[in-house]
Chains A and B, each alone.
Chain A
Amino acid sequence: MMRKIYIPRDSGALALGAEKVARAIAREIGLRGVEAQIVRNGSRGLYWLEPMVEVETPTGRAAYGPVKPSDVPSLFDGNFLSGDAHPLFLGNPEEIPFLARQTRLTFARCGITDPVSLADYEAHGGLRGLRNALSMTRLQIVEQVTESGLRGRGGAGFPTGIKWKTVLDTSAAQKYIVCNADEGDSGTFADRMIMEGDPFVLIEGMAIAGIAVGATKGYIYLRSEYPHAEQVLNEAIAVARNAGIVGKNVLGSQYAFDMEVRMGAGAYVCGEETALLDSLEGKRGMVRAKPPLPAHEGLFGKPTVINNVISLASVPIIMDKGAAYYRDFGMGRSRGTIPIQIAGNVKHGGLFEAAFGLTLGEIVDEIGGGTATGRPVRAVQVGGPLGAYFPRALFDTPFDYEAFAAKDGLIGHAGIVVFDDTVDMLKQARFAMEFCAVESCGKCTPCRIGSTRGVEVLDRLAKGIEPSRQIEIVEDLCNTMKFGSLCALGGFTPYPVMSALTHFPEDFRPQPVREAAE
């Protein structure tokens, strides 16, 4: 019997040696003359177990990991193709607590299927959302998305359905769907995982968006740091075009929608939607003043839906199972699920998709298992380089847009970076200012100048020069940047800086005092 062996092609798994493992397994298959086929799947997102190899057995999948190339002969000796025991045996992957506790809606197929096999995609529920959409009017599709409560997963949390409605209500000869795949925030990798692990769900989501608002062309603006995602997306788009999922008649309908991937060139600010549009147009990635909204005057001045990867990839399940199904997950005004990315100094790092509402403490301590180094967790940065640092005292904060805002933080793209007690929060605050200075597009003064001054002031503070005066200046600078910047880069850099200062003031005291306190 032909056995299927799944070895991820996800870049996280590749970074941990999946390619060498795949080669070793292929060699062993040849040497032993066994009947087995290697499938390169996405990652399930349990990165401490990657490379995680799975085998399809009559009783379901059996997982082994983390596999090193040197483990491969013993896996074959131990008859892993039948799912037999081995020191690396993990059992049925779906029963691993980290996975069993999740609610996988957007990531339902990720890590299970061959990312570029359309047959796999359809066998696991793919295209049902698009087919449903084709039986509805444009307005009905938009209403479904609105009623689902889906909010922009890129960080801003703006209701997706309202964006779509605005574009639907404009009349223009050309409209666009732009997917923001410029996932630049440290601690986030959900976009990368879905693009590498289940690209058809993004393609399907964009096609639905195109049909809903009357757009015929879509662009995925992908960061250049993601070459593996580029390759998978291009393979998948070619497959989708061949199968008539995109093209002149989407699934044989009267709707035309086609799409392509465009690569960025290393500029963090291009993750900001208006800078991204300028970059797609071939300009410097400069932030635009709003209004006009991209929904009215977006790419090339045409009405444009610009959504994050996860927002678009969540649309197919909403159109498949209905708005109510999705909306019934979550809390408050944060509906549905959120793929939380647990990263940094953490024992069980990876992707955890769950309904909104878990507390930060549950995520870090229970699910993440504390730090990888075994030292106490001291600070957790939530929401990327522009997100606040949370101390343990705020670990009861539920994962919800409003709850985080109420604690002067943000969930952003739902990346969580864990730090142990060796972290120097003054250094982290300085890094936030420095990063902003390097990546600022330069259009507005608070961001461009404020960040540079911020670095200088924090450097003086570190040297113990008039410390109380420096803190006063930092606070004032942060206030100016927060309220005076054109976009979230300058506007949110104060979050990491001020949270570090507020929650970890001991790190900002002059050196002699810090030493005496220790």
Chain B
Amino acid sequence: MQHAGTEIVSAVMPIIERWKHEEGPLLPILNGILREFGYVPREVLPAIADALNLSRAEVYGVVSFYHDYRENPPGRHVLKVCRAEACQAMGGDAVAERLQELLGITFGETAADGSVTLEEVFCLGLCACSPSAMLDGEVIGRLDEDKVQEIAREIRA
């Protein structure tokens, strides 16, 4: 859901207020916005810069540095698939291929129907039950064809 610019800025003000007097407030603010909206709308950056007495460039520099701070609203589901070595060792590349095929999108994309955003992640700490993924915050280990199909079904439902 795309919010109107001013509406979204006023919606993030409580998050900014909550943190602005704490030490190192910028990441907690951005993480709070991410949790609330699922992305970090770039139109809120000037308000953050003002509140923290930073330049807009500084805030933009931080936002663009971290993988989590996606610029656009994600799909209804977010599927993060681990691509790191412990998952590679257990056929993770094939699982990743299969998921892209079933969902009809590649990593970094959101499905046209808004059902899902597919992202790569480098290690979920589930390396003794690989390959692994995280669907809307829920972890899934030992991905195989059955589990991959189940994920695709849940996303389409």
Contact = CB atoms under 8 A, between A and B. Distances in A.
Interface of A: 11-12, 14-16, 45, 47-48, 50, 183-189, 191-192, 224-228, 262-268, 279-285, 300, 341-346, 349-351, 372, 381, 385, 415, 417-420, 423, 428, 431, 435, 439
Contacts of A268: 122
B127 A187 contact: yes
B100 interface: no
Contacts of A341: 127-128
Interface string B51-77: 010000000011001111100000000
Contacts of B89: 343-345, 417-420, 423
A423 B67 CA distance: 28
A266 B66 contact: yes
Closest CB pairs A-B (n = 9): A282-B26, A349-B128, A15-B141, A186-B84, A343-B127, A344-B89, A266-B67, A265-B66, A47-B128
A183 B142 contact: no
Interface string B18-60: 0000011111101100100000000000000000100000000
Given A11-B126, A279-B27, 16 more contacts: A12-B129, A12-B141, A14-B139, A187-B84, A187-B127, A188-B123, A224-B68, A225-B125, A225-B134, A265-B67, A266-B67, A267-B67, A283-B26, A343-B89, A345-B90, A415-B86
A127 B13 CA distance: 41
Nearest to B69: A265
B85 A417 contact: yes
Contact of B140 (A15, A349, A417): A15
B117 interface: no
Nearest to A16: B141
Contacts of B140: 15
Q: Is the interface of A mostly helix, strand, loop or mixed?
A: mixed
A267 B125 contact: no
Nearest to A344: B89
Nearest to B133: A15
A25 B61 CA distance: 49
Contact of B27 (A192, A264, A346, A418): A264
A265 B139 contact: no
A344 B130 contact: yes
A423 to B, nearest CB: 7
Contacts of B122: 184, 186, 268, 385, 435, 439
B85 A187 contact: yes
Interface in B131-157: 132, 134, 137-142
Interface in B79-136: 80, 82, 84-90, 121-130, 132, 134
A364 to B, nearest CB: 12
Contacts of A285: 65-66
Contacts of B80: 225
A191 B125 CA distance: 9
B2 to A, nearest CB: 22
A351 B125 CA distance: 12
A263 B31 contact: yes
Given A265-B66, A343-B86, A431-B88, A226 B125 contact: yes
A467 B57 CA distance: 44
Contacts of B66: 264-267, 285
A186 B27 contact: no
13 contacts: A16-B141, A50-B129, A183-B123, A184-B122, A188-B125, A225-B121, A300-B23, A344-B85, A344-B89, A344-B90, A346-B128, A385-B85, A423-B89
Contacts of B85: 186-187, 344, 381, 385, 417, 428, 431
Given A14-B139, A343-B86, A344-B86, A189 B126 contact: yes
Contacts of B128: 12, 45, 47-48, 189, 341-343, 346, 349-351
Counting chain B residues whose Cβ lies within 8 A of the other chain, the interface size class is 35 or more
B127 A186 contact: yes
Contacts of A435: 122
A157 B25 CA distance: 31
Nearest to B119: A266
Contacts of A16: 129, 141-142
A285 B125 CA distance: 21
B136 to A, nearest CB: 11
Contacts of A300: 23-24
Residue with the greatest number of chain A CB neighbours at <10 A, chosen from B65, B121, B125? B125
Given A192-B125, A266-B66, A282-B24, A343 B141 contact: no
Residue with the greatest number of chain A CB neighbours at <10 A, chosen from B25, B127, B138, B141? B127
Contacts of A283: 26, 62
Nearest to A349: B128
A481 to B, nearest CB: 19
Nearest to A368: B128
Contacts of A186: 82, 84-87, 122-123, 127
A227 B84 CA distance: 19
Residue with the greatest number of chain A CB neighbours at <10 A, chosen from B27, B80, B88, B137? B27
Nearest to A389: B85
B126 A187 contact: no
Given A11-B139, A12-B141, A186-B85, A417 B127 contact: yes
A176 to B, nearest CB: 9
Given A266-B67, A345-B89, A417-B86, A281 B126 contact: no
Nearest to B40: A265
Contact of A280 (B24, B30, B125): B24
A193 to B, nearest CB: 8
A484 to B, nearest CB: 23
B105 to A, nearest CB: 20
Contact of A15 (B31, B34, B132): B132
Contacts of A189: 125-128
Contacts of B90: 344-345, 372
A262 B28 contact: yes
A103 B128 CA distance: 20
